[in-house]
Amino acid sequence: MKIKIGMFGFGRTGSIVAQEIIKDEICELSWVLRKSMAKEGEFASRLLGFDHDEGKVYSIENIDMDAFYNDNYVDVIIDFSSASATEYYEKAAQYGTRIVSAIAKYDRVHLDQLMYLSKQTAVLYSPNITLGINFLIEASKVLQRIAPHADIEIIEEHFRGKRDVSGTALRIAEDLGLDKRQHVNSIRVGGIVGKHEVVFGLPNQTIRIIHESLNRAAFGQGAIYAAKWLLGKDKGIYTMEEAVSLSFVKNPHVFEVTE
């Protein structure tokens, strides 16, 4: 039996994520919800060049959310839209639908809403849902425990038009207990999709952990991984770091590096 997935958002990244879901043999894109009424009633699969009907597009403006979730149950919602979409999750959570939120930044109000929903269903939230970046975060935490005296800097590179500091870089700094203003360095050039680097400086060596997204399909592959992982979880709030946790490292302090 396939995993039924509903999706919020069908923009530049969302459409590529939808394409990855349609291509996955275990998943079925049941529907796409968006604020815009563009392409309403059409199928995401057709819009993306497939020759079958999958992922009918609906506008939030024209549906009753309670009736919609009752008639269009899905196992998992994957969200690549905006923070405000959390307002439309509550009815889905009541039906037991799990939620994968890949929104880069939440304000306190919408983050609290996610926490509230986690009391009803399993919710996974990650500002960057690629497998690689979350492995980078986990590996960086392990290395920090091994070398607690290392200098650490975070470098994030994105396309020239990106204004804000990377939410992923801020998350890395938070996870490593670093001051976000002092240890996050931003570069904006050309059309870089996204590159994050954590630099560990030791007296006799430098260690760099780097992740680079070459294509937005990486977000789709991460979201699918998260959806499959979340199906086996009880209600609660989860992170992508947990989904790729380096649990095999039992006691990194044994290998602590001193100056």
pLDDT, tens digit, 9 for 90 and up, residues 127-160: 889 999 999 999 999 999 999 999 999 999 999 9
Question: Do 184 and 110 reside in the same domain of the chain?
Answer: no
Average pLDDT, the chain: 91
- Angstrom distance (rounded) from CA 178 to CA 214: 27
Confidence band of 253 (pLDDT split at 50, 70, 90): very low
Active site residues: 158, 162
* Residues 102 and 137 occupy one common structural domain: no
Residues 28 and 147 in one domain: no
164 and 112 within one domain: no
Q: Is the same domain home to 124 and 30? A: yes
In the prediction, which pLDDT does 252 show?
44
| 110 shares its domain with 224 | yes
* pLDDT confidence of residue 66: 86
How many domains in the chain? Answer: 2
For residues 232 and 116, membership in a common domain is answered with yes
**200-212 per-position pLDDT tens digit:** 999 999 999 999 9
pLDDT > 70? residue 7: yes
Question: In this structure, are 95 and 148 located in the same domain?
Answer: no
- CA within 13 Å, CB half, 121: 24
Same domain? For 32 and 139 the reply is no
- For residue 79, the model assigns a pLDDT of 95
Instruction: Tell me what pLDDT residue 76 has.
Output: 98
Residue 71 belongs to domain with CATH number: 3.40.50.720
Question: pLDDT over 90 for what percent of the chain?
Answer: 77
Q: What is the pLDDT of residue 104?
A: 77
Q: Are residues 88 and 163 in the same domain?
A: no
Same domain, residue pair 69 and 193: no
Q: 20-37, pLDDT tens digit by residue?
A: 999 999 999 999 999 999
- CATH classification at residue 188: 3.30.360.10
Same domain, 62 and 8: yes
Range of the domain at 88: 3-129+217-240
Q: What percent of the chain has pLDDT over 70?
A: 95
The predicted structure's pLDDT at residue 50: 97
pLDDT tens profile 159-188: 999 988 998 999 999 999 999 999 999 999
